[in-house]
Amino acid sequence: MRTKLPSDSDAVANHRAEIVRRGGSRTKCLSLPAAIGDAVSAGDRLTLVIDGSEYYTVVAGDSDGLVVHGAYDNRRLAKTTGEGTNRLGEWLAELGREADNSVVCDEIAAGERYGLRAPGDRAVYTVQQEPRDSLQSIAEDLDDA
């Protein structure tokens, strides 16, 4: 079942993510807020929702913390360096955001799914609700029958 979750809901934690330039290419990327670092580690795969579309990324780490270098159309492109269109870079360019600016990072599902939006904007996210019973409990019910 899918439900709608607005960015200003009490169920969504909002964090400031700073735009930085890192690495040899010096392309714009996002430094993840420390509050997210409790649920995310370098190497984790995340879903990023930008302007209502889902993209995929792999979290990287460096001496300054956790960073997201890009957002891509599928999981394979997110893992492969240099392939596909970096939707994060496109979005930041469209917003006119530069290094040392920030965007809002909404925590939709900790460690899995985050939304990005411009400060002051409001977003509504579509969230897939998990079934009430896990597959394990369903299997146990069948065994008991």
Least confident of 19-28, 69-78, 102-111, 114-123: 19-28
Whether the pLDDT of residue 99 is over 70: the answer is: yes
Which amino acid is residue 101, in one-letter code?
N
Whether the pLDDT of residue 137 is over 80: the answer is: no
Least confident of 67-71, 113-117, 127-131: 127-131
Residues 15 and 47: their CA atoms lie apart, in Å, by 16
Helix extents (H) in 1-145: 75-79, 87-95, 135-144
The continuous run of DSSP H or E covering 31 comes out as strand 28-31
b/e sequence 40-61, b meaning 16+ C-beta within 10 Å: beeeeebbbbbeeebbbbbbbe
Number of domains in the chain: 1
Percentage of the residues of the chain whose pLDDT score is greater than 90 = 68
The pLDDT mean for the chain works out to 88
Domain carrying residue 117 = 2-144
pLDDT category of residue 89 using cuts at 50, 70 and 90: very high
Query: How many CA within 13 A on the CB side of residue 67?
Result: 18
